[in-house]
Copies of this chain bind each other. A is one copy, B any other.
């Protein structure tokens, strides 16, 4: 059994980590922290669904205290906040899985351009961080002490197009990623954008061509293609709680049949327990991954335009955040990769 602390326990990624880890046979949650303004609270008072399942008080973060009680710390904190805490946990000899964007970028300048300045300490630490997308970086994750857990949109998009880029059968220009997200992606702090009457019976695009997941996606696609790639990425906010559906358009460089490409995908992911390549003619729906760690991928070849249209679906809080974090933990600790993540989710 490993001992685990969670900082940022009161957010949606936090409650999702708790939910998953409560069902994990090798983990004991020992510490919960969040911004509590000096008023500690039973976590089951904050999330009454947990009543009877866990008795832990959520306090303000005390790094030494959490480090003392934990082998591994999950940080589900806002971007720019992890920067300060991660180096301290690492210095105390702890393993860290950071769900923020703060250590996702190889190139510090890109991070600083799209997010915020690094500190001296975080800069030094950055090269040690491993981008925690297990389907691409499993070997590195095994040995890592610091995981930069991928963003929700990047996870679905990168998994959706990786086989095409690695197999060099698509143009690297004109890649369009159009993504649709449920409202939990906006976090747990009330805001006009996620106010029920504004969000319900409505759909909108936001951060068009300017969303901060863009450089993260481009970094990974460029590595896969071994050349610099720029994409157009448009996220949309949908009236539902969970799920991201990405519809991705790429130009094929030669005529290919749908079956061939599906086979390429099946081959590429054949050892991956959480990527499901759908059969010809069937396509993902977010409800099929609701509450599960799966990424479903469907493939269409549009022969009229010689274009591949890839659709991927994830649960933004599971494969897009906390489930993937647990998957990374399993790999780091040599547990079975699927441990605690076997549930097919909930439908309908």
Residues on A close to B: CB < 8 A? 12, 15, 19, 22-23, 47-54, 174, 176, 178, 180, 182-184, 186, 188, 190-192, 194-206, 208-209, 230-232, 234, 236, 238-243, 245, 247, 249, 251, 273, 276, 278, 282-292, 294, 296, 298, 300, 302, 304-305, 307, 309, 311, 342-348
Contact = CB atoms under 8 A, between A and B. Distances in A.
B49 A344 contact: yes
A159 B204 CA distance: 18
A166 to B, nearest CB: 22
Given A49-B290, A52-B294, A178-B247, A283 B208 contact: yes
Contacts of A283: 204-206, 208
A299 to B, nearest CB: 10
A52 B296 CA distance: 11
Given A190-B190, A245-B205, A231 B305 contact: yes
18 contacts: A15-B348, A19-B344, A47-B288, A49-B289, A51-B276, A52-B276, A178-B247, A190-B195, A195-B196, A200-B200, A201-B201, A201-B240, A201-B286, A203-B240, A203-B243, A208-B247, A241-B348, A346-B346
Tally of this chain's copies: 4
Contacts of A178: 176, 178, 234, 247
Contacts of A48: 278, 282, 285, 288, 296
- Count chain B CB atoms within 10 A of each CB in A22, A203, A278, A300 and give the residue with the most: A203
A285 B51 CA distance: 13
B188 A196 contact: no
